[in-house]
Amino acid sequence: MKRHGSIAALVLFLVLVSGLPAGAQDATKPDPKTTRKPATARQPRGATSLDAADVPELKIAPVVGEKVEIQVRPGVVMKGVVKDHRYEVLSPFGGYVPVESDEVPFAGIRVYHAMGLDGFIFLRYDSIHKITFHGKLSQEEGLALARRIHEEMKRAAEEKERAIADMAARRQRLADEKAARAVEADQAAAEEEVLGESRRAEDIKKLLERFPPPEWRPARLAELKKRRLILDILPNDEETAFIDNYELWFEGYEIWRKAQEELGKSVAPPEKK
């Protein structure tokens, strides 16, 4: 019975609605001709607004928080902003936990943008001489502070880039100087080698002139050593010089011997006088 009754009520409702005039059916719909959007007030040209609706459109968001002035010790004052809580303790698990008052052991305060810098400094109340709160930042103050921080960070980033560029240039300069010194050292070594060979050839020439073959020959060295060991006869100054310079003299002797052989000359030593 309940089901039939609800169906009958629905049919009756549809009949009543269909019997209404067209204007009556649309009475609840707004007329697009008469409905207008509320007019918005226009600002004079050049005027600015710091309403909350304008904040998202700004490139730099204002700093929000409470102004604080802290005297760490007499004569040393730090100004900044408190963003979260006035009283906090450092959690052993990381982060900060709000507490009821500064009387809680190790309670402190996070001071943001101290000295106009980004980030915060955590100061324990037992290290603070005096603290004064000056109310919340106005939007103008927050924007001014945000712009100062932005400019300071921009300047710091530019200085860092310059420092990195200067360091890279210095390293490159040192590398170039090292490479130049290496080239100079190689050139000096090559020149020294050439000069050394020239001096060596000159020394050989002088030794051959002083101890000319075949009078002075390799067998002469063996004779001098044998005479000293067996007969206990010491070599004279000239013979001593020959013994001391024998290796260099022998290089010249080999050159002389080969030249003599190419000329078909005998290299046999002359008869002893």
Classify residue 133 as left (phi > 0), alpha (psi -120 to 50) or beta.
Answer: beta
Report yes or no on 152 lying in a domain.
Answer: no
Q: Which of 144, 173, 200 is the last residue of a domain?
A: 144
Q: What pLDDT score does 22 carry?
A: 42
DSSP labels, 138-154: PHHHHHHHHHHHHHHHH
- Please state which of the ranges 27-36, 126-135, 217-226 shows the lowest mean pLDDT: 27-36
For residue 119, what are the domain limits?
66-144
CATH number of the domain residue 99 falls in: 2.30.30
Report yes or no on 59 lying in a domain.
Answer: no
User: What three-state secondary structure class fits 96?
Assistant: strand
Report yes or no on 128 lying in a domain.
Answer: yes
The pLDDT tens digits of the residues spanning 54-70 come to: 444 447 888 888 888 88
Q: Which of 104, 126, 144 is the last residue of a domain?
A: 144
For the chain, the domain total comes to 2
The pLDDT tens digits of the residues spanning 196-245 come to: 888 999 999 999 999 999 889 899 898 998 888 888 889 999 999 999 99
CA pair distance 153, 157, nearest whole angstrom: 6
Instruction: Give yes or no for residue 44 having a pLDDT over 80.
Output: no
Report yes or no on 155 lying in a domain.
Answer: no
Tokens for 142, please give them. Answer: 């927050």
Report yes or no on 205 lying in a domain.
Answer: no
Report yes or no on 71 lying in a domain.
Answer: yes
The pLDDT tens digits of the residues spanning 161-206 come to: 999 999 999 999 999 999 998 998 888 888 888 878 889 999 999 9
pLDDT band at 144 (very low <50, low <70, confident <90, very high): confident
Report yes or no on 170 lying in a domain.
Answer: no
Q: Which of 121, 144, 167 is the last residue of a domain?
A: 144
Report yes or no on 82 lying in a domain.
Answer: yes
Would you say the pTM of this structure is higher than 0.75?
no
